[in-house]
Structure 1
Amino acid sequence: MKGRSIILDHLGDREAAALMVDGRLEDLLIDADAPRPGTVYRAIADRPVKGQGGMFLKTPDGSAFLRQIKGLAPGQAILVQVTGYAEPGKALPVTQKLLFKSRYAIVTPDAPGLNISRAIKDEAERDRLLEIAHDVLAEAKTGLILRSSCAGANAEEIADDIAQMAELAARVAADDSAGMETLAEGDGPHVLAWRDWVAPAEVITDPGGFEDHGVLDALDAVRAAQVGLGGGASLYVEPTRALVAVDVNTGSDASLAAGIKANMACARALPRALRLRGLGGQIVLDLAPMPKKDRRAFETALRQSFRADDVETALVGWTPLGHYELQRKRARLPIEEVLI
């Protein structure tokens, strides 16, 4: 099926959303039992961790870990937001820098100022968006970021979005209770799909949409380790307790350029492979053999690929053994944990 389709459905009793582009699965969101990123708590400071500059907190959903705790004392109530998923057996990662994010706007209570996405370059459009923001926020002290999805969008929809996020931020900030409490839930897959997949697409909400539109078949392929790269080359994505290992193979190609071709194909395919599998943390690439002079071209291709990916990923660099390392935010749970 040609074009972009967003399919909203369920996998068992879990809410899920899939993005299909020209019949290929490009992104997949599945709800989990763990607290969702974006959830806001009133937490209670518990105990500091010497040597790490952090503190464990008590939340309604268990222990959380906060870095940069200057001035925070045990027993103190504090507003924090979940930033990602915890590794098994570890505390939830949280931050004091709250963000209230929607389709068009991100309200930043602790970072005053009005910013517009640099992707919007037209000065007339930027002026239009500034007028909308000033009309809605008036003298409010909160910060605001207008996302790239605002370009050409209906002024009333943008204004409503800003107002809703600003009202939520104000309600959370005004809470002065002392006990542990969940003040705002993170967004589920269907809301995230509306919020982040903003390019024009057909939206399908009929029950059984995953089966009717090939998502279940694509899901079977995602659960396998192997990803075809074309020309007989492939990569294998295999998570371990410590890291995610990615092995690149040239297959039957015995030409002198086989290694660089396979590695460049890996650079293009890797963000999607990690995104669909929900993998993050330390990632080590065992690349196909290639001359050192080709490393810069590979790094450039890898950087361009991850620039279009919405999960924060740091390209760390080469190891003495010739492996390439990345560090990726745990923004999702591994698909094998969600679909047990």
Structure 2
Amino acid sequence: MSEEILINITPMETRVALVENGVLQEVHIERTLRRGIVGNIYKGKVVRVLPGMQAAFVDIGLERAAFIHASEVSDREGQAVEAITALLHEGQGLVVQVTKDPIGTKGARLTTHLSIPSRFLVYMPRTPHVGISLKIEDEAERDRLKQVVSACVETEGVDEAGGFILRTAAEAAREEEIRADIRYVRRLWSQISQQTQAAPAPSVIYEDLPLALRTLRDLVCPRTEKIRVDSRETFQKVEIFVQELMPAVQSLLEHYPGERPIFDLYGIEDEIHKALERRVMLKSGGHLVIDQTEAMTTIDVNTGAFVGHRNLEETIFKTNLESAMAIARQLRLRNLGGIIIIDFIDMVDEDHQRQVLRTLEKQLERDHAKTNIIGITELGLVQMTRKRTRESLEQILCEPCPCCTGRGIQKTPESVCYEIFREILREARAYQAGAYTVLASQAVIDRLLDEESGNVADLEIFIERPIRFQVETVYTQEQYDVVLM
């Protein structure tokens, strides 16, 4: 199993693709104007305490107040969690970390149990505990890692409390690599502590790494064979980051200077478009129907045109097996989180049911997000959860369609603008033209002439050609044409 990480950089956004054996498995998008805040540490102020919900709202300087539950403030667990009124009061200052981005109408989720991640471990300055990722199953390796951390902490001679969680990437890591990580997170925590003393509330104390660097920290694993970056400037930043924190990864880095966009080279753009559709076609002729709602995501499995060669049970079993593999990939690709209900085609044979569930579990082992398969209900539905910390691909790229009162989705004017920019770059590299005319809807043209005017000007300088705009009232928001003049 080989992996490649592709990093596509433009001034407007950073996009990362994780490709396994030539097949896209994950896409991460971070827009310059709308960066995610998971992992950021803030000095906030409690604005409202809700005894009935055992929670409070905290102002951390965002448009909407963030939410914190009593269990994320108290050091006790389960039924022993203290009352929120005993823990917090209005006007109180509070140092918190974001665990979930604001999604839809919901504000960010917070915790006071701070953690600072590095390549091999997560430092918890307020929790004196050493834990190891459950994905490291070898007992001898788990013991070795515990001893390495204990030895490192003792030789570093630091008295302050704090604990560590060894990440999956720490498996087989050398002692000096873990020692370097411990020094890094301790140094970072010292800076954060100093800033906390002087900063007013609300204010940001620490921001997590930008997507390109976060990707290297979180996604690189022993299976990673190549990391390709299509921006010279970002490549240089990545090189410096890798030299300091991940020297073993240096040989995997590669700058991609090609004329053809890197995502086109690997067929990523087409896969992203497919990942926004409800229906996912299977090779057998069957298909999945994926519906994402605020409460949960439902996935329906259908045999479609697949009729099998022997009998109905064989047809159903083969379709469900293929679906289990496809579903695991779609959860990662679309970044679907929360409660997920899968309606496999009913199977009579219990052994078939076990094999399908086992296949799903096996495929989910490579998922970087925490997943939990709860089992099959009396109705034959598979219940599972997948940890949700950031918006799904659909939530980033799309918005509810006003024409269908929210029943469907459409790409935002921002997304369409960026598609137009990429199309113009593609055309400029392939054909010689005196100028370009963009035909699009009113909303898209308005954005191109307003918020994106600076990017348009930069693009005109880069391609050395003028770009004109024309509103087409019959075009939908997603429709556009780039005409060579």
Task: Report the TM-score when normalising by structure 1.
Answer: 0.88
- The SS at the match of 2:52 is coil
1:184 and 2:199 correspond: no
Counterparts of 1:11 and 1:228 in 2: how far apart (Å)? 31
1:82 and 2:84 correspond: no
AA in 2 matched with 1:300:
R
Higher helix share: 2
1:93 and 2:109 correspond: yes
* Cα distance, 1:8 vs structure 2: 1.2
- The SS at the match of 2:44 is strand
AA in 2 matched with 1:83:
T
- The SS at the match of 2:101 is coil
After superposition, residues 244-263 of structure 1 pair within 5 angstroms as: 244-254=297-307, 255-263=312-320
- 5+ residue gaps, structure 1, are none
- 1:31 aligned residue: 30
- The SS at the match of 1:60 is coil
- The SS at the match of 1:103 is coil
* Cα distance, 1:248 vs structure 2: 0.5
Residues 321 and 113 of structure 1: is their aligned pair in 2 closer, same or farther, counting only changes over 3 Å?
Answer: closer
Residues 37 and 12 of structure 1: is their aligned pair in 2 closer, same or farther, counting only changes over 3 Å?
Answer: same
Residues 128 and 88 of structure 1: is their aligned pair in 2 closer, same or farther, counting only changes over 3 Å?
Answer: closer
Root mean square deviation, CA, Å: 2.6
- 2:292 aligned residue: 239
8 A contact 1:235–1:247 mirrored in 2: yes
- The SS at the match of 2:113 is coil
Counterparts of 1:188 and 1:153 in 2: how far apart (Å)? 25
AA in 2 matched with 1:57:
V
Give 2:165's match in structure 1, choosing from 137, 140, 145: 145
- The SS at the match of 1:51 is helix
8 A contact 2:60–2:201 mirrored in 1: no
1:309 and 2:367 correspond: yes
Higher strand share: 1
Q: Cα deviations across residues 215-272 of structure 1 (Å, max 9, x unaligned)?
A: 2232223222333443222212221343222110122333322223222332223232
Residues 178 and 73 of structure 1: is their aligned pair in 2 closer, same or farther, counting only changes over 3 Å?
Answer: farther
Counterparts of 2:169 and 2:220 in 1: how far apart (Å)? 6
* Cα distance, 1:183 vs structure 2: 0.9
Counterparts of 1:280 and 1:124 in 2: how far apart (Å)? 34
Residues 219 and 137 of structure 1: is their aligned pair in 2 closer, same or farther, counting only changes over 3 Å?
Answer: farther
Higher RCO (CA 8 Å, separation ≥ 6 residues): 1
After superposition, residues 189-268 of structure 1 pair within 5 angstroms as: 189-199=211-221, 200-207=224-231, 208-254=261-307, 255-268=312-325
- 5+ residue gaps, structure 2, are 71-83, 232-260, 398-411, 413-485
8 A contact 1:264–1:301 mirrored in 2: yes
8 A contact 1:39–1:82 mirrored in 2: yes
Larger radius of gyration: 2
Counterparts of 1:136 and 1:104 in 2: how far apart (Å)? 17
More displaced 10-residue stretch of structure 1: 41-50 or 319-328:
319-328
- The SS at the match of 1:252 is coil
1:167 and 2:167 correspond: no
* Cα distance, 1:194 vs structure 2: 0.6
Counterparts of 2:385 and 2:87 in 1: how far apart (Å)? 30
8 A contact 2:287–2:304 mirrored in 1: yes
8 A contact 1:105–1:165 mirrored in 2: no
Counterparts of 1:137 and 1:261 in 2: how far apart (Å)? 58
Counterparts of 1:114 and 1:50 in 2: how far apart (Å)? 33
8 A contact 2:26–2:334 mirrored in 1: no
8 A contact 2:288–2:302 mirrored in 1: yes
- The SS at the match of 1:90 is coil
Counterparts of 1:272 and 1:140 in 2: how far apart (Å)? 43
Counterparts of 1:181 and 1:292 in 2: how far apart (Å)? 58
